[in-house]
Amino acid sequence: MARITTPVPGYNGQGPGNLQFQDGVAHSDDPAILDYCRSAGYGIDGEPPARKVPEPPDPRDVTTTVVGAPVRDAAVDPRPEDFRAPVNAGEANPHGPEVYAPGLPGGGLQPTAPPADPADDGGSEGGEAGHHPVTPRPAQAAPVAEWRAYALTQVDNDPAVHAEVEKLTKAELIKQYGS
């Protein structure tokens, strides 16, 4: 019978292979249990454990290496050169409803880079003189004020129609002008 000691001195209770430890000591002659206990850090017949689990390093002493460029969140720290930075970035709580990503212009795929010609926003149609760029549809999560402003670009310049648009709820604006 081999004498097995626990890594925790004085342990009383059940161990691997249903061993019963009393004051940190149990006995067994099963080679499988002895091999397991040896590899798991138990002492066998007074031998020291085969492996010791190292203490994790103190995180205050660990040095880190930054690989690549440091990460920057445009919703927290916007810069003028950011392409399509979130609306209200840097001004409101970046995790609140006031900061949101702009919607896709007219649906379709999101561009991955700004246009080569800064005057070309990708939203204008044709090259007609006096033609204004198409206003992109706001994101569904955009505030009602943005939806009203968008709706006003979609209707004639009639004060009565403008007054009606100002009375509509966000849901009504999305239903009427969102498609």
Q: Which residues contact 79 (CB under 8 A, 6 or more apart)?
A: 85
**SS3 state of residue 118:** coil
pLDDT by residue, tens only, the chain of 179 residues: 899 988 888 899 999 888 999 998 999 999 999 989 888 888 888 776 655 666 777 777 778 777 777 677 776 777 777 777 777 777 878 777 777 776 655 544 555 555 666 555 544 444 444 444 567 888 888 888 888 888 888 887 777 888 888 888 888 888 888 76
Task: Give the angle subtended at the CA of 50 by the CAs of 45 and 52, to the nearest 5°.
Answer: 120
R_g (Cα) of the chain, nearest Å: 34
Instruction: State the alpha helices, DSSP H only, in 10-122.
Output: 31-39
Residue 14 belongs to what H/E stretch? strand 13-14
Question: Is there a contact between 31 and 38 (Cβ–Cβ < 8 Å)?
Answer: no
- Alpha-helical runs (H) found in 79-179: 144-154, 159-167, 170-177
